[in-house]
Amino acid sequence: MMLMCILIQTNGTLYFFKNMIIRLLCPDPVLFWAYLIPVLYWTYLTLTTNFVLVFDSVGYFNLAHLFYDPGQWTEYFRGGPNREPLYPLLIAASMSAGKWLGISYAYPLKIFSFSFLAATMALIQQVLKLLNANRWVQAATVLYTGLSPILINSALCLYSEIASFPWLIGVVLMSVYFLRSLRSPGLTHCSAAIGLGFCFLAFTFVKGMGEILAPLYLSWLFFYGWRQSGLKILSFLCQSRSKILLVLLIFYIPLMGYKSLNYGFNGHFVLTNRATMALYGNLNLRAQSPLTMDHFLGHLLTVPVSYDLCSGSSLNKECGHWSMSASDETFLTRRDQLTKQNLTPAQQESYFNQGILGALFSHPLAQLVYLVQEGMKMFFWETSQGAFVVYPPWLDHLFNIHSVVVLMSLGVGGLCLCGFLMACSMLKNELILITVVLTGLLVLCFSFVLVLHRYAIAAAPLMILINASVLSALTTRSKR
């Protein structure tokens, strides 16, 4: 019996390797070229572009040095709470690689960044395969992801968005496998649970918003899994407790550990230092802005974050009212007043938390309208005018052609918004449902803060996936 099991296992393994070799030697030519063309383009850009080290990228660079310089890593926590750690760690790894190879750290960093983009492409293709998407749809999606101006810009500049791309798609994939694994009791087929927890953890260590997104999404996922199982709630929990616990432990233990390090070194039990300022500043700004036509239109004009509709319009001043500097000024002015009143940082934190809740529930209609408009900004992630990267002159010229700018910024943004709305009518498909819920929750989480263009970029892979899923569903329907 034992011998038979070994033989079957060996035969199975041999079959797996034979299959893998054939796939490597004889890949689908359409998909092969859909991957190769972007790789050639990235190689050209790696050799010819330069990033501009200003504003937040200087912060990331300095934090990376704390990891790179020997014995300095404790300063990261002592001087904190600082930014999320994964991207500075990536830069530090690039510095080490650059030093070892005797080249500038920029080259290894670009290679690592493009690896993240390639992983995102592969994961998106895997999700589309699960949807039984046509190979041309898969190839077109992979090609677009690899050639998208803003996604490439994210890989070439020193901002953290690139490091967040594969994790949300990973969450979608792992969610599907996790739901399937719930049918098996105990810890059998638990790799999806491990993958799900890990993907959320990695995303949170790039974008702190994951700390709020994860519990919301996982609550829904577990609830959905229970409804699909058809069991009573207690039976479901008994059957699936190991896997649910596994997801939560893998996500929360390292996160709490990191927050404990912050608490131990700098007295703040937090992941990052920016949540309070972003929430208080923006929510109070909204609370102080009654729902007049001017405020409404001014805010609406700022919705396409990737394209400036404000300058040149009569509502330019109104747009300025909704800028990041106005939001930060609201927070900073209040903080200065509290400091003058000799309030301790803990007391100030408590004051701001109360202020956030107070602002949230004052003028609920206005808050809701502004919330929806803020959320719509997340769909306008694409642009050909990415910042902080210097391109070759011919490419710079191409990216600045007005029609290209409008097509990329407004065209793709509008398409993403329509795609999302169409996907909401296709929720019978489990995979589309998971993607829509994850995207919707991400948009909701960011709606509470002032959405900058770079926040919208983090949602880009999900938006591409939604559009591809809708396209795949439509092409399947039309074939029938």
Partner 1 sequence: MLPVRALLLRFSLTFGLLFVLAFVLLTAAYQPLKDHILETQQITDLKSKSLVLGYQTPDFKHLAQYILEGHHFKPEEFNYRTGTDYLAFFKKGSELFPQLFEMFYMQGVCYSWLQDAPDAEDALRQSLQINPVFFWSYYDLGLLCLKNGQIDAAIALLSTAKRIPPQVTGKFLHDLQAFQIIWRYMPDPEGYITRHLQQADQKIDSLLLIALAIKNHHDADVHFDPNQWDPVFF
- Which residues contact partner 1 by CB under 8 A? 19, 22, 25-29, 32-33, 36, 44, 47-55, 390-393
Q: Which residue's CB is nearer to partner 1, number 372 or number 398? A: 398
Alpha-helical runs (H) found in 267-323: 275-287, 293-301, 316-321
Q: Which residue's CB is nearer to partner 1, number 358 or number 392? A: 392
Other C-beta atoms within 10 Å of 29: how many? 11
Sign (positive or negative) of CA dihedral 244, 245, 248, 249: negative
The minimum distance between CB 220 and partner 1, in angstroms, equals 40
Distance CA 85, CA 66 (A): 11
The minimum distance between CB 331 and partner 1, in angstroms, equals 15
Distance CA 384, CA 406 (A): 9
Q: Half-sphere exposure of 49 toward its Cβ, with a 13 Å CA cutoff?
A: 29
Q: Which residue's CB is nearer to partner 1, number 44 or number 269? A: 44
Q: Which residue's CB is nearer to partner 1, number 329 or number 414? A: 329
Nearest to residue 210, comparing CAs of 171, 177, 245, 175? 171
Residues 47, 53, 57, 63, Cα dihedral to 10°: 100
The minimum distance between CB 339 and partner 1, in angstroms, equals 16
Q: Which residue's CB is nearer to partner 1, number 128 or number 157? A: 157
Backbone angles phi, psi at 50, to 5 degrees: -135, 140
User: Partners of 50 in the beta sheet?
Assistant: 390
The minimum distance between CB 48 and partner 1, in angstroms, equals 4
126 CB-near residues (< 8 Å, 6+ apart):
173
Q: Which residue's CB is nearer to partner 1, number 105 or number 448? A: 105
Residues 213, 218, 219, 221, Cα dihedral to 10°: 130
Distance CA 193, CA 189 (A): 8
Backbone angles phi, psi at 188, to 5 degrees: -75, 145
What tokens were used for 146? Answer: 């690899």
Q: Which residue's CB is nearer to partner 1, number 92 or number 106? A: 106
Q: Which residue's CB is nearer to partner 1, number 7 or number 390? A: 390
Alpha carbon distances (Å) from 411 to 73, 247, 405, 417, 423: 45, 38, 9, 10, 18
The minimum distance between CB 392 and partner 1, in angstroms, equals 4
The minimum distance between CB 92 and partner 1, in angstroms, equals 21
The minimum distance between CB 36 and partner 1, in angstroms, equals 7
Residue whose structure tokens are 């739901």: 179
Distance CA 349, CA 326 (A): 20
The minimum distance between CB 390 and partner 1, in angstroms, equals 4
Q: Which residue's CB is nearer to partner 1, number 295 or number 454? A: 454
> Residue 385, exposed/middle/buried by CB under 10 A (0-12, 13-18, 19+)?
middle
The minimum distance between CB 80 and partner 1, in angstroms, equals 21
